[in-house]
């Protein structure tokens, strides 16, 4: 497998390059607006990249601003892509879905297998505990993170909300109202500071008991390993939009 690493000069890009090296995988080139001394050629954008070799996969941990250029290049060269960047707009999500009709794409706000399982468990907990339980999601990340709430918290919200027949509304702040908590909402709370890699809790608060499901990411190489697993998963796939649930389902088979 040949990897084109987007966001190569960033924290995650470097972690992916290290994980690839330790697995004997080749990073053929990097793309980044920043310059850095890296052990592979680095290009400022996708349009400048040379034609890809066989078995090439893009792995992207960069910035939402990279998406359009990345997908134009990937479509032109029929190269699958792992999209790990978070904070896409609704229009960008629609572009990803449209491009997945032509290309195998793998997108996830979190490349940890543990989080993929947490999602499934949280959905099941909501189904079993039912309407009597209030649900709150709390996440914490390092001070450099630019988007809030985290993509993972939103994924957890989607999973839990889908367990209720009417869904539940996402609520990010209760500062501007004075009223008891309505049942049909899910509070999502973001803590930012220090060097926290990533903490997520889904709290089910019932009349006589509480259940908390939690996950702690200990270091970022976990996401790099998951993204490389996703890249090898994509190599022989038909066009489509894949996510971590597909990796979990493969493991359960």
Ligand X SMILES: NC(=O)c1ccc[n+]([C@@H]2O[C@H](COP(=O)([O-])OP(=O)(O)OC[C@H]3O[C@@H](n4cnc5c(N)ncnc54)[C@H](O)[C@@H]3O)[C@@H](O)[C@H]2O)c1
Residues contributing to the site for ligand X (CB under 6 A) = 7, 9-13, 31-34, 61-63, 65-66, 84-87, 108-111, 223
Question: In angstroms, rounded to a whole number, what is the distance separating the alpha carbons of residues 23 and 241?
Answer: 25
Least distance to ligand X, CB of residue 186, Å: 21
Least distance to ligand X, CB of residue 158, Å: 15
Least distance to ligand X, CB of residue 209, Å: 32
Q: Which of 93, 101, 145, 189 is catalytic?
A: 145
Structure-token match 């999973």, residue found: 159
Rank residues 56 and 150 by Cβ distance to ligand X and give the closer one.
Answer: 150
The pair of structure tokens assigned to 243 is: 């996510």
Q: Among this protein's residues, is 141 annotated catalytic?
A: yes
Q: Order of strands across the sheet with 56-60?
A: 42-43, 26-31, 2-6, 56-60, 81-83, 104-107, 240-242
CB of 71 closer than 8 Å to CB of 99: yes
As a whole number of Å, the CA-based R_g of the chain is 19
Q: Among this protein's residues, is 145 annotated catalytic?
A: yes
Beta strands in 183-247 (DSSP E): 185-192, 198-205, 210-217, 240-242
Indicate the residue whose CB is closest to ligand X.
10
Which residues, 6 or more positions from 142, have their beta carbon under 8 angstroms from its beta carbon? 192, 193, 194, 195, 196, 197
Rank residues 42 and 122 by Cβ distance to ligand X and give the closer one.
Answer: 42
CB of 11 closer than 8 Å to CB of 37: no
Look at residues 19, 17, 23 and name the one whose alpha carbon lies nearest to residue 5: 17
Least distance to ligand X, CB of residue 63, Å: 3
Least distance to ligand X, CB of residue 203, Å: 22
Q: Which of 63, 141, 142, 200 is catalytic?
A: 141
Catalytic residue list: 141, 145
């Amino acid at each position: 497998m040949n990897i084109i690493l987007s966001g190569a000069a960033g924290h995650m890009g470097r972690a992916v390059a290290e994980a690839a090296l330790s697995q004997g995988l080749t990073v053929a080139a990097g793309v980044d607006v920043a310059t850095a001394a890296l052990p592979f050629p680095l290009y400022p954008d996708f349009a400048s990249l040379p034609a890809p070799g066989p078995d090439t996969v893009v792995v992207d941990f960069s910035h939402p601003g990279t998406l359009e250029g990345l997908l134009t290049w990937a479509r032109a060269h029929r190269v699958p892509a792992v999209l790990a960047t978070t904070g896409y707009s609704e229009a960008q999500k629609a572009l990803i879905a449209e491009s997945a009709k032509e290309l195998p794409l793998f997108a996830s706000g979190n490349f940890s297998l543990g989080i993929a399982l947490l999602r499934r468990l949280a959905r099941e907990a909501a189904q079993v505990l039912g309407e009597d339980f209030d649900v709150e999601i709390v996440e914490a990340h390092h001070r450099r993170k630019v988007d809030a709430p985290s993509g993972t918290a939103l994924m957890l919200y989607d999973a839990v909300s889908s367990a209720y027949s009417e869904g539940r509304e996402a609520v990010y702040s209760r500062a501007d109202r004075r009223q008891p908590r309505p049942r049909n909402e899910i509070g999502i709370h973001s803590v930012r500071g220090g060097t926290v890699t990533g903490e997520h809790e889904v709290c089910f608060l019932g009349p006589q008991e509480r259940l908390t499901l939690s996950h702690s990411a200990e270091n970022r190489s976990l996401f790099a390993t998951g993204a490389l697993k996703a890249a090898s998963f994509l190599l022989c796939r038909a066009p489509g939009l894949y996510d971590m649930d597909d990796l979990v389902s493969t493991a359960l088979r």
